Amino acid sequence: MQFLEYAMNLEDYISTDLPSIYIEDSIDAARQKTLNQNASHFPIIENGKLYGSIAESDLNTFEDKSKKIADYKYTFELFFATDEDSLLDVLTLFSLHETNILPVLNKDKKYVGFYDLTDVLSLYAETPFLKEEGAVLVLEKDNNSYSTSEVTQISETNNAKVFGFFISKKTEKTTQITLKIKTDNINEIIQSYRRFEYNIISNHEDDSYLEDLKNRSNYLQKYLSI
């Protein structure tokens, strides 16, 4: 995702206000800590080490409140970000693990806090890819015949500013690319992509090719009705 190359200081979004559950906590103590917390998972910590995270839904199913969290290690899910991960890395981890809380480790593998999905999405919303005004193109081409450098080059050759793009769909034969650009002549760029054998999946009012097809179709309909 090219748009995630923009520099962002994710470390500013590391939070520490979520109650940590310790490996020796009882189930009852852990439940008390997690009351009224809007979190899908809670980090399990001991001496700065992350043992994993426990799902809030699992925690509420344990019947014996006197048992310790350590007795349920088999339910722990070990996932985390590092304080050097990019925005793309972090968003991917949130999606893969279906969580709204993502533990963060430093270079020494020590737990330093967590990312909240709401905060990260707010940061994502400030990227030029979403915030800047521009045209969005959805392109499609055979898997073996497209390249990211070509996508950028075609737009920039037509004096467009590329805010970013990402692979939005992939099948066994084709790849779809969603591209956001700033341009004064979207039609010129669309026709350039067609010359390079890209299919334009998105609809655009200024697409002269489609307008010509529409006019020809209307003419044919009139001819056939004579």
Phi and psi angles of residue 211, each rounded to the nearest 5 degrees, phi first: -65, -40
On whether both 140 and 74 belong to a single domain, the answer is no
Give the structural domain span for 29.
2-124
Count of domains observed in the chain: 2
On whether both 175 and 192 belong to a single domain, the answer is yes
94: number of CA atoms within 13 Å, CB side?
Answer: 18
Checking DSSP bridges between strand 81-82 and strand 101-105, what pairing results, if any? Answer: parallel
Structure confidence at residue 44 (pLDDT): 95
CB-CB contact of 44 with 23 (8 Å): yes
On whether both 67 and 172 belong to a single domain, the answer is no
Q: Mind listing the pLDDT tens digit for each residue in 101-112?
A: 999 999 999 999
On whether both 75 and 171 belong to a single domain, the answer is no
On whether both 140 and 59 belong to a single domain, the answer is no
Structure confidence at residue 217 (pLDDT): 46
On whether both 17 and 107 belong to a single domain, the answer is yes
Q: Mind listing the pLDDT tens digit for each residue in 18-64?
A: 888 999 999 999 999 998 899 999 999 989 999 999 999 999 899 88
Could you tell me if residue 150 is inside a domain? yes
Structure confidence at residue 225 (pLDDT): 53
Structure confidence at residue 8 (pLDDT): 56
Low-confidence stretches of the chain (pLDDT < 50) are: 1-7, 207-220, 223-224, 226
